[in-house]
Amino acid sequence: MKSLLKLTAVLAIGVWLVAGNTYPATASAEEADNQSSQPEAVMQVADAYMAKGESLLRAGKPEEALPHFDKAIEQNPDSAIAYNYRAICHAMTKNLRQALEDAETAVYIDYYYTSAHLNLASLFRSVGALEDAIDQFEQLNRMDDEHFVKSSGFFSDWAQLYMEAGNWDEANRLLDKALEINDKNGDAYFLRGQLLETRDYNYQGAIEQYTKALEVAGEGTNTAKWLILKDRGFAHYILNENAAALADISAAMGILADYDGYVIRGAINMRLNDYGAALKDFEQAARMKPDQATPVHNMGLVYLNQQKYGKAMDMFKKALKIDPEFALSHMNMAMAYREEGKLKKAMECVEKALELEPSNEAFLKYRDEIEDEMKN
């Protein structure tokens, strides 16, 4: 269940300038030196294109902004700011190769242009180049405070990259640093909660961290409140604290009702034997993502628990049409057949499940049980 439901953190790492950066967004003195070497008339034309492009970008029109930054670069090819803004346009229009090229050019022109480093880190992350993204943070960290002041958010964003790279110890060290600078950094608490869940399976500790994140949620916290609530609810679910889990997931869905929320709330309602509510949640999840087998399979589980074996098997068969390798549907169909006394059909389903997961101990044990029952 966890692999289907767990969400990744949505933090401010590499936030585009158009969205408002939490880090210094201006170019450095080196950029100013480059600008001063250009003729004043050329600079005025370049500035006009920049102003128009930036206005369109902030209005959420990157396609319209792009030619203005092209013109600004034609007028002033030494402008790191123009290359950085054009990188943003390319990123927003999903042209990541060109975005990377422009962001790298911006950094080459002005090494101390910190926003370009952050955008470059975000781009590297988006294409899965985590080591390169981490390197951008390392370069920023080596800068003195005159060029870049390291905020609490900087260290928590850096920690997130290490978490995604699987370096939990370094991530933990950076989260310590983030909270040492600002003990109201909700993102750091949220990330530490995820770290405790994923690395240590310490769900109680994770709940405590998520609770701290919620207590300080607001200014300085970029993680959405609904996501913190959802992850805390999931931790409660793992600990079988179903009332608390239901409260958190329902509160999260009151802010944003999404597919994962419906799936996990349905699972909680099943545990609470509220099969009607569970069925409604799974049906809604299936409508939201008709290409996913999980909610359809779970509807079958509801019917199985209600001893409505025909309906249960219909759902399991439907789930297998969506995903023929969904082994659990074969297994649960076997359970339905077994309850109806159709042991031969049950065994056929178990064998199909084992073809997909031949080393699954639960499947093997269930096959042995049916074999023993068939002998008697």
Domain boundaries, the chain: 1-15+151-243, 23-127
Please tell me what DSSP assigns to residue 359: T
Residue among 124, 118, 180, 188 nearest 160 (CA):
188
Q: Looking at residue 28, what is its pLDDT?
A: 52
Q: Looking at residue 183, what is its pLDDT?
A: 94
> 154 to each of 134, 211, 273, how far by Cα in Å?
12, 22, 45
How remote is the C-alpha of 374 from its chain's centroid? 47
> What percent of the residues of the chain are helix, what percent strand, and what percent coil, each to the nearest 5?
75, 0, 25
Q: Confirm if 88 and 58 have CB atoms less than 8 A apart.
A: no
The segments of the chain whose pLDDT lies below 70 read 1-39, 219-221
Residue among 339, 327, 331, 349 nearest 373 (CA):
339
Q: Confirm if 138 and 27 have CB atoms less than 8 A apart.
A: no
342: three-class secondary structure by DSSP? coil
Q: Looking at residue 25, what is its pLDDT?
A: 42
Q: Please provide the average confidence, as pLDDT, over all residues in the chain.
A: 89
**Interatomic CA distance for residues 61 and 333, integer angstroms:** 51
Q: Looking at residue 376, what is its pLDDT?
A: 77
**CATH topology agreement for domains 1-15+151-243 and 23-127:** yes
Cα 37–Cα 38–Cα 42 angle in degrees, nearest 5: 170
Q: Looking at residue 45, what is its pLDDT?
A: 86
**Interatomic CA distance for residues 263 and 259, integer angstroms:** 6
Q: Confirm if 363 and 350 have CB atoms less than 8 A apart.
A: yes
> 346 to each of 302, 334, 339, 350, how far by Cα in Å?
19, 4, 9, 6
Q: Read off the pLDDT of residues 54-103 as tens digits, 9 standing for 90 and up.
A: 999 999 999 999 999 999 999 999 999 999 999 999 999 999 999 999 99
CATH superfamily of 23-127: Tetratricopeptide repeat domain (1.25.40.10)
How remote is the C-alpha of 33 from its chain's centroid? 40
pTM: 0.81
Q: Looking at residue 112, what is its pLDDT?
A: 94
Q: Read off the pLDDT of residues 27-64 as tens digits, 9 standing for 90 and up.
A: 454 554 555 455 677 788 889 999 999 999 999 999 99
CATH topology of domain 1-15+151-243: 1.25.40
Q: Looking at residue 3, what is its pLDDT?
A: 28
